Structures are given as structure tokens and as C-alpha cells.
Amino acid sequence: MAKFKKIIVAGPLVVETVYPAPNPRDSVGVRQGKKALSSEAQQRMNLKYAWQKLELEIAANFGVRDLYATLTYDDKHLPDSRRAANAKVQAFFRRFRAVRKANGQELRYIYITEHKHGDGRWHHHVLINATGEDYDLIRQLWGQGNIEFRQIQINRDKNFETLARYFCKEQRDKVGQRLWSGSRNLRKPERECYRVPNDTPLTPPKHALVLTDTGDVTTAYGHFRYIKYLGAGWGTSGRPKAKRRRKSRRS
């Protein structure tokens, strides 16, 4: 008997699941049982919610040494609509990109525009890849209000998921409106799916920080397991790429 194994790797963040593979010799009842187990396992990998997709985008591109800032407006520069606010922050990133390009440096960013909490003023939460000397430059290029810098925290309680959930806390003004925007050069999570032997274990590597682990979900038709963890090295930069599991050659 074989199983399927699915893996998503986003920087140091890894999501894995194993679940039963169909067998032509299975009875109808067994096939239906395996299908139910497979469906439950795959639903965990489907990234149904906006924050789940953003979690992977953040993990693939940013870590504890990068920049997390909130850009606000003074009364003189306060925009009167989401469209106007987005135009202002996009102009800021164009200026920023020009400076980085002139210095031979890459600019990667994610931002979200909000106004529904607090005093209702438009503001932007942004993530930016750091170069080491960015604070004064960002203040100079923004020039429309205050900037609050925060530290990106990656640990068991605060991590890529909690940050993504925070970024997605406001509902869309319109159905179908995307919650966040990012630069075109953002690194993409890697996905892989392949068959493995039935007895293949699903365990995180040594020194990994496990964030979610279902344990073995077992029925008469087989079992599946789902884990999400931060690979070794996550506590230093937050962005080292986790080692991918090698495909088994057994059938």
C-alpha cells in the first residue's frame, strides 16, 4: 500500500501531509473510506483563507531581520479614499525602488491598506526586505506622516501565521477585493506531491519548531497526518530555506 505526500516550503516554514493513495484492488467501501481521509488531509493544504496564502508569502520573503512598519498620514496628506491611499503608498515604493536600484539592491515588499479600526484614519502596514541602513531613508521617502517600526517576531506564540492574521483582520470593502499587495519579485512557495511507501514517517527534522501537528488520524481505511513547522535556523534570520525531503524511490 502507498501514500501520497504533499509538501509546501516557504522559506523556513514547511507544511507536510501524508494520506492514503487509492488502489485499484480496493473494495468500494475501502475506496470511499480512503477518499474521505484524503479529502480531509488535502483540505488542510488548500489554503482556503486569505491569511493562509499570505502566511506563505511572508515566510518565503521575510524574517526577523527584515522591516515591519506602519505608515500613517498627517492631516495635510490624509487621503480621502482607498484608491488615493494606495496611489500614495505605491508612489512611495516607486521612489524606494529607484534608490535601491541605483545602489544595486533588490526591493521586496508586501503592504496592506487599512482604515476601519482605531480612529478610522488611512494607514499602511508594510513588510520590506532590509539592507541594514533603511530607517532614515524610509522616513525621508515617506514624508507624509509618522512611521512606527516594529520587530518581526518568529516564535511559538508569534510567527508568520499570527502576522498574516493581523494583516488580514479587516474585511474587504468590496467582495473579491484583495487584502494585500506585493512587489512582483516576491519569492514563491514551492510545492511538491509524490507517492511514498505506506510506512513513511512524517516527522519534523531535528531542531525544528513544530507549530501544528494533528498526530496520526487513523480509521479502518488508513491514516493521515499533517504538520506545520519552522525548519532549523528559523530563529536567526527567519529566512533560511528548509531542506526538502528527498523523494523515496520505493513504490
Average pLDDT estimate for 226-234: 83
Q: How confident is the model at residue 100 (pLDDT cuts 50, 70, 90)?
A: very high
Average pLDDT estimate for 215-239: 68
Higher model confidence: residue 217 or residue 68? Answer: 68
Q: What is the pLDDT of residues 23-74, one digit of tens each?
A: 555 544 444 544 555 555 566 666 777 888 999 999 999 999 999 999 999 9
* Burial category of 39 from C-beta neighbours within 10 Å (exposed 0-12, middle 13-18, buried 19 and up): exposed
Higher model confidence: residue 4 or residue 62? Answer: 62
Q: What is the pLDDT of residues 73-84, one digit of tens each?
A: 999 999 999 999
Query: Is residue 221 scored above 70 in pLDDT?
Result: no
Q: How confident is the model at residue 97 (pLDDT cuts 50, 70, 90)?
A: very high
Residue 207 pLDDT: 85
Q: Which of 53, 135, 141, 137 is nearest to 89 (CA)?
A: 141
Rounded CA-CA distance 16/243 in Å is 13
pTM above threshold 0.85 = no
Handedness of CA 26, 31, 33, 38 (dihedral sign): positive
Spatial contact of 191 and 244, defined as CB atoms under 8 Å apart: no
Residue 115 pLDDT: 87
Query: What is the radius of gyration, based on Cα positions, of the chain?
Result: 22
